[in-house]
Amino acid sequence: MLDSVTCKIGGEAGFGIMASGSMVAKTFLRAGYHVFTMNEYPSLIRGGHNVVTVRVSALPFESLDKHVHVLIALSKETVQLHNDELDEGAVIMFDPKDGELSKKDFSKSSNIIQIPFIELVTKHKGNPVMRNTVALGALIALAGTDFSYLSGVISEQFKSKKQEVIDHNITIAKAGYDYVRKHFGQITSVKLPPVKPAEKQALVNASEAVGIGALQAGMKFAAIYPMTPINALITFLIQYKKKYAVVYKQPEDEIAGINMAIGASIAGVRSMVATSGGGFALMEEGLSFAGIAEVPLVIDLGMRVGPASGMPTWSEQGELRFAIHAGHGEFLRIVLAPGDALEAYRLTLLAFDLADRYQTPVFVLTDKYMNESQFCVPVSKFEKTVSIDRGKLLTQKDLEGVRDYKRYALDAVDGISDRGLPGMKNGCFMTNSYEHDEHGFSIEESGARVAMVEKRAKKLRAVEADIMPPTVYGDPKADIALVGWGSTKGPILEAVRLLTARGRPVRYLHFPWVYPFPAEAAKKLLEGVGRIIYIENNSTAQFASLMYEHTGIKAHDTILKYDGRPFYPEEIVEKLISLVINN
């Protein structure tokens, strides 16, 4: 019996692979387990091989590991593609109608369970696509989990359908459950230990977490052109737009999207856009417009493999420098990089406040791994009430008696001028993309230009009061320091746990705030460290170079991965041992 079981479900696109993974995760979540899911699929309109990985554990954990204990192969291609990932003694579920399998087909010892998926579906008058439903029941039986949890999830999944549809799916799932109980009940290697349902948990991906944060922050307008990997945010906003009185607009392209969001922000509502690298490349002129016009704007930039179209459905941390330096000219922008769904929620709340406070664009830098993976988050972690800081946003009452309102007044010590809204009495001003005077009218005089540049530059000093220091995990006094940002957080935390268990303590600095760079905090926390190792999902160690640029601290080593896949904790441990412990 294992404390943690990892299952892969693979098959041809169109056979409900992703939905199956989500339903499996929800089932185990409701049974009281901790879960995490990740999907993989090719960049094809139709066809190709899809796979979803679900890790289930009786104990909390932070990421997937590399050990696959159960492989549900809904096609023979699944076996061929994932054979090398199987752990010793893994269980393979396979329909004999898809071909023959023997233990010789696997590099490690394994248990091959032949389950007649198609036959069971046909027996109960189902469509062949429903073999994934048979597989769900079979997996739940194999893990020793009560079927009622799965039937409840199925009922919820198909709640918009007729009761007969719900009952039909439950019957087919029960057929798989009963078949395994009858024929393979003796297999106990992947049974999970019983647990008592603890605190209520939510299963969310980072895009949904960003959506929750945006709605709670009072966001009222979003203009988002569909693009992997931020599409789940669109689905989320469409689902809740009526309840929260939000306008979601699908623009004709990303250029229109950012300009719509800027217009909404000028009009006074909190607004956002979301995109990936290729879409953001089109938004750069709009970004500069927001910079010179001093318009609050939140941008969810979901990174994926580049350059150009790259590998559109795979993950990478290749756009850190892009976010920091995008847009022509010099202006403040803030870049936040959550490491999991909970941080995505919290940093989105913060992003809207920072955008208003400093009247500037704020990035929430996510990636495909985070945007489409499902995290287990205690419901209590989502705030019931949220305080909102609109910064120096004026009300009509504030403008009573004002005779000469200056939208871009130069007298603000922090460079942040009082912000009025169009249509306010006594608050007339001009906003455009040109350099301007205090009223917003276009200028070209050298002295006025210098004054405006220096006004906006004051924000760089003002924002220092809000810069979030890195979070330290592990042994804060260890001589080896791991440094990471964004979605490497989970794998690194798991690696720290594995190393600690081996008697090799390390400290780990996680940076959720990456720009303006928290230089003083970084220097203090890394002072006297013997070995600093950066762990990043890119090929050029972008964060390591950013650290050197702002602190003068050089990397002793880097652990980089850029094949489109996230880190596994075991990979980090193995490379650390080869880099440090064996040298």
Quickly list DSSP for 289-335. Answer: HHHHHT--EEEEEEE-B-STTSBTTS-----HHHHHH-SSS----EE
Query: What's the pLDDT tens digit per position in 467-514?
Result: 999 999 999 999 999 999 999 999 999 999 999 999 999 999 999 999
Q: Is the pLDDT of residue 59 over 70?
A: yes
Q: Which two tokens stand for residue 152?
A: 């409840």
Task: Give pLDDT, residue 350.
Answer: 98
Q: For position 14, what pLDDT does the model report?
A: 80
Structurally, what CATH architecture does the domain formed by 203-381 represent?
3-Layer(aba) Sandwich (3.40)
Q: What is the pLDDT of residue 458?
A: 97
Is the pLDDT at 62 greater than 70? The verdict is: yes
Q: Is the pLDDT of residue 582 over 70?
A: no
Please report the sign of the dihedral spanned by the C-alpha atoms of residue 101, residue 104, residue 110, residue 111: positive
Q: What is 471-581's CATH number, 3.40.50.920, 3.20.170.30, 3.40.640.10, 3.40.50.620?
A: 3.40.50.920
Q: What percent of the chain has pLDDT over 70?
A: 99
Neighbours of 438 (CB within 10 A): 20
Express each pLDDT in 339-373 by its tens digit: 999 999 999 999 999 999 999 999 999 999 999 99
CB 6 within 8 A of CB 53: yes
pLDDT mean over 88-105: 85
At 583, the amino acid letter reads N
Do the beta carbons of residue 207 and residue 372 sit within 8 Å?
yes
pLDDT at 80 over 90: no
Between these two residues, 551 and 78, which has the higher pLDDT value? 551
What is the radius of gyration, based on Cα positions, of the chain? 26
The rounded percent of the chain whose pLDDT value lies above 90 is 88
pLDDT tens string 294-303 = 999 999 999 9
**pLDDT band at 323, cuts 50/70/90?**
very high
Checking phi first, is residue 273 left (phi over 0); if not, alpha (psi -120 to 50) or beta? Answer: beta
CA distance 523 to 406: 40
Strands in 333-445 per DSSP E: 334-336, 361-367, 375-378
pLDDT for residue 138: 96
Beta bridge partners, 382, equal: none
Average pLDDT, the chain: 95
For residue range 106-153, list pLDDT tens digits in order: 778 888 899 999 999 999 999 988 999 999 999 999 999 999 999 999
Average pLDDT over residues 304-313: 96
Instruction: Give the residue from 208, 287, 279 showing the smallest Cα distance to 240.
Output: 208
Is the fold of 4-198 the same as that of 471-581?
no
Model confidence band, residue 54 (pLDDT cutoffs 50, 70, 90)? very high
- CATH 3.40.920.10 fits domain 4-198: yes
Q: Rounded to an integer, what distance in angstroms lies between the CA atom of residue 56 and that of residue 33?
A: 6
Q: How confident is the model at residue 583 (pLDDT cuts 50, 70, 90)?
A: low
For 461, how many CA atoms within 13 A lie in the half-sphere containing its CB?
Answer: 9
Whether 96 has a pLDDT exceeding 80, the answer reads yes
- Residue ranges per domain, the chain? 4-198, 203-381, 392-466, 471-581
Helices (H), 70-188: 76-82, 117-123, 131-143, 147-157, 163-183
483 has which bridge partners? 509, 534
Question: What pLDDT sits at residue 1?
Answer: 63
